[in-house]
Structure 1
Amino acid sequence: MSSASTTRLSAGMLAAFAAIYFFWGTTYLAIAVAIREIPPFISGSMRFMLAGLAMYVWLRWRESKPLANVDLKMAALAGVLLTGVGNGFVVWAQQGIPSGIAALIVTAVPVIVLLLDWAFFSKRAPTRQALIGTTVAVIGVVTIVTHTRSLSGEAHPLYLASLLLATVGWSFGTLIQKRAVQPGAVLSFTCAQMLFGGVFQLFMSVVDGEWSHFDPSIITWSSLAAVAYLVVFGSIVGLNCYLWLLTKVAAPKVATYALVNPVVALLLGTIVLNETLTPLVIMATVLVLAGVGLVLFQDVLKPSRLRSFVSRRAPAVAPGE
């Protein structure tokens, strides 16, 4: 039986990767629209509590006790770390930190997951292909961000600390939930996790005093549509694909979403906002995709397997030729 680290990617896994790569890349724009009129933690609590409740109703319709096979303590821990700290503090930090700096820090997730998994969880050292692929992809993202976004302006230490906390929280949560969820209870675990994360963000909205200056009367249909998009595609579709992938493949591979999302956001900006796509950015995008491809398909691209592949397909050479 192959381990998660050596599992070959099936069509379903590739589809799930495509979902988190694309939908979580588009959430940058949706979040920006939502927080124009709805404070960060309030919008986050709306997003995850609505998504969790919708999933619970659907699961309850299918079975009498949808959360019976879920370790609620682990779901609460994963929910607070991922959807609470990991998502909530990133959105909150974007109130006072340049988006370019935010994007740079978030791309550290695959690296942090790789190192945390090595140090505290699987104890397996990252492969050479994984290290090279992650490094190449990070270089590509850094090039994109520094070329397309202004990194000028001061980043308040509190917002910077919030972003760093979110990145570490998401990375720890990823590794914890990978070991906590049962393969047959992915939907139930995601449901519980989102509810706990939503409650945590609701608590943070009170701590941060967001309700004192929140005026529901100014909410427009565009903000509501953005929240609805985040509920359906960012949470219900995205998180379920993410958690399902964690039951199938190694966490560092799944964490490559953080490297692809900025590229998707960039392409979306080019299409929707008519932003310029320069040759340098195109080259950097190729770097990102090449690096991520090396991480995802590192088992197939091992030198020994490539030699075996070539030898099996090489034509036989007759003596004297």
Structure 2
Amino acid sequence: MSSSSTARLSVGMLAAFAAIYFIWGTTYLAIAVAIKEIPPFISGTVRFLIAGLAMYVWLRWRDPRPMANVDMKMAALTGVLLSGIGNGLVLWAQQGIPSGIAALIVTAVPVIVLLLDWAFFSKRAPTRQALIGTTIAVIGVVAIVTHTRSLSGDANIWYVLSLLIATVGWSFGTLVQKRAVQPGTVLSFTCAQMIFGALFQALMSVIDGEWTHFEPSSVGLGSVLAIVYLIVFGSIIALNCYLWLLTRVAAPKVATYALVNPVVALLLGALVLNERLTPLAVTAAALVLVGVGLVLFQGVFTPARLMSFVKRAPPAVARGE
């Protein structure tokens, strides 16, 4: 590979990481706006069905058989785990939990990916630093879950549990998808995955009885624009970036998007929706972020590396002058 190709690839990766870092941080706010007038599973169905069909039309225009090399069974499984459970239960939970707190709980994704990868996929045991980081992150999540009442008022325990299930589903789907998709089929696989996720959310909307009290005529411009934003940016752009990165970068590193998302979501929730940002929320956020950071950046701040840095530093730096 030439140096120019490497540079282009590096720029592409940076752009893809930036997309999932910041776009998915803003989608929590868009979801909060959308579900004010559109029931959660119905909004998810509309979002992923339109995004998936739009992608299919575009792919079909380019290739008469765009799904020829897609493993439909794996696309269905990952669609249910990611776009279905991972996204759908977050939508449902945001009926009773602020967008910033929802994003904060989802921050546990990198830790869960690490543990699931150890248990079922790569079989590589986490290091001592990873275990310490996992413990700290779990303490932060437990603090959020235990004190959700003080963070966001009355929060039904089912909303909290649905967020935790969504986090596990998304994490497991991430690892399954990394194995299932090939670099040349990213767009087609994402297209199929979104359609299967939409079908799952449509089923959940029927089970939850959302259609019995949904009035399309009552949907305002704000909710429509939020859905459009979720379709274009949250699904077509960010989800494709996520899957593309999974074909090139280790899954736990791709999952670092969850480090930035809650910061964006908490700030937007406080600024736009006037959601309360309490000291407990800030403390819990710090615990989760520190824990996840320790898991993801293993080997960066080890004693050996720090000593090596000190030895290489100029004398004035080494003496602390």
Q: TM-score, normalised by structure 1?
A: 0.80
What is the number of residues matched between the two proteins?
307
Whole-angstrom distance in 1 between the partners of 2:246 and 2:93: 27
Correspondence for 1:221: 221
Q: Relative to structure 1, is the Cα distance of residues 133 and 265 closer, same or farther in structure 2, using a 3 angstrom cutoff?
A: same
Whole-angstrom distance in 1 between the partners of 2:266 and 2:188: 33
What is the Cα deviation at residue 260 of structure 1? 1.9
What is the Cα deviation at residue 128 of structure 1? 4.4
Correspondence for 1:75: 75
Identity of aligned residues (%): 79
Correspondence for 1:186: 186
Whole-angstrom distance in 1 between the partners of 2:132 and 2:167: 21
Q: Which amino acid in structure 2 is aligned with residue 32 of structure 1?
A: A
What is the Cα deviation at residue 126 of structure 1? 2.3
Correspondence for 2:29: 29
Whole-angstrom distance in 2 between the partners of 1:98 and 1:191: 30
Q: Does 1:208 align with 2:179?
A: no
Of 207-216 and 103-112, the range deviating more from structure 2: 103-112
Whole-angstrom distance in 2 between the partners of 1:10 and 1:56: 28
Q: Does 1:64 align with 2:52?
A: no
2:149 and 2:155 in contact (8 A); partners too: no
2:145 and 2:160 in contact (8 A); partners too: no
Q: Does 1:267 align with 2:267?
A: yes
Q: Which amino acid in structure 2 is aligned with residue 161 of structure 1?
A: L
Of 134-143 and 262-271, the range deviating more from structure 2: 134-143
Whole-angstrom distance in 1 between the partners of 2:240 and 2:26: 17
Whole-angstrom distance in 2 between the partners of 1:141 and 1:72: 35
SS class of match (1:177): helix
Q: Relative to structure 1, is the Cα distance of residues 60 and 314 closer, same or farther in structure 2, using a 3 angstrom cutoff?
A: same
Q: Which amino acid in structure 2 is aligned with residue 242 of structure 1?
A: Y
Whole-angstrom distance in 1 between the partners of 2:163 and 2:283: 28
Correspondence for 1:248: 248
Whole-angstrom distance in 2 between the partners of 1:284 and 1:159: 18
Q: Does 1:90 align with 2:72?
A: no
SS class of match (1:124): coil
Match runs of 1:19-168 below 5 Å: 19-97=19-97, 102-131=102-131, 150-151=150-151, 153-168=153-168
Unaligned runs of 5+ in 2: 1-8, 315-321
Q: Which amino acid in structure 2 is aligned with residue 90 of structure 1?
A: V
1:85 and 1:166 in contact (8 A); partners too: yes
Q: Which amino acid in structure 2 is aligned with residue 231 of structure 1?
A: I
Whole-angstrom distance in 2 between the partners of 1:300 and 1:11: 23
Whole-angstrom distance in 2 between the partners of 1:132 and 1:16: 29
Q: Relative to structure 1, is the Cα distance of residues 309 and 71 closer, same or farther in structure 2, using a 3 angstrom cutoff?
A: farther
RMSD: 3.5
Whole-angstrom distance in 1 between the partners of 2:221 and 2:37: 11
2:90 and 2:163 in contact (8 A); partners too: yes
Q: Relative to structure 1, is the Cα distance of residues 22 and 283 closer, same or farther in structure 2, using a 3 angstrom cutoff?
A: same
Q: Which amino acid in structure 2 is aligned with residue 217 of structure 1?
A: S
SS class of match (2:151): coil
Q: Relative to structure 1, is the Cα distance of residues 286 and 12 closer, same or farther in structure 2, using a 3 angstrom cutoff?
A: farther
User: CA offsets, 1:181-238, max 9 Å, x none?
Assistant: 0111111110100010011111111121111110010111111100000001111111
Whole-angstrom distance in 2 between the partners of 1:286 and 1:10: 30
Whole-angstrom distance in 1 between the partners of 2:281 and 2:163: 25
Q: Which amino acid in structure 1 is aligned with residue 17 of structure 2?
A: F
Whole-angstrom distance in 2 between the partners of 1:148 and 1:204: 25
Correspondence for 1:4: none
What is the Cα deviation at residue 276 of structure 1? 9.1
User: CA offsets, 1:254-293, max 9 Å, x none?
Assistant: 2222232110112334654688989998898788777666
Unaligned runs of 5+ in 1: 1-8, 316-321
Whole-angstrom distance in 1 between the partners of 2:231 and 2:260: 21
Correspondence for 2:171: 171
Whole-angstrom distance in 2 between the partners of 1:16 and 1:198: 24
Whole-angstrom distance in 2 between the partners of 1:134 and 1:176: 22
SS class of match (1:159): helix
Q: Relative to structure 1, is the Cα distance of residues 270 and 157 closer, same or farther in structure 2, using a 3 angstrom cutoff?
A: closer
Correspondence for 2:3: none
What is the Cα deviation at residue 139 of structure 1? 7.2
Q: Relative to structure 1, is the Cα distance of residues 133 and 249 closer, same or farther in structure 2, using a 3 angstrom cutoff?
A: farther
Correspondence for 1:3: none
1:114 and 1:252 in contact (8 A); partners too: yes
Of 134-143 and 257-266, the range deviating more from structure 2: 134-143
Q: Relative to structure 1, is the Cα distance of residues 87 and 279 closer, same or farther in structure 2, using a 3 angstrom cutoff?
A: closer
Of 165-174 and 177-186, the range deviating more from structure 2: 165-174
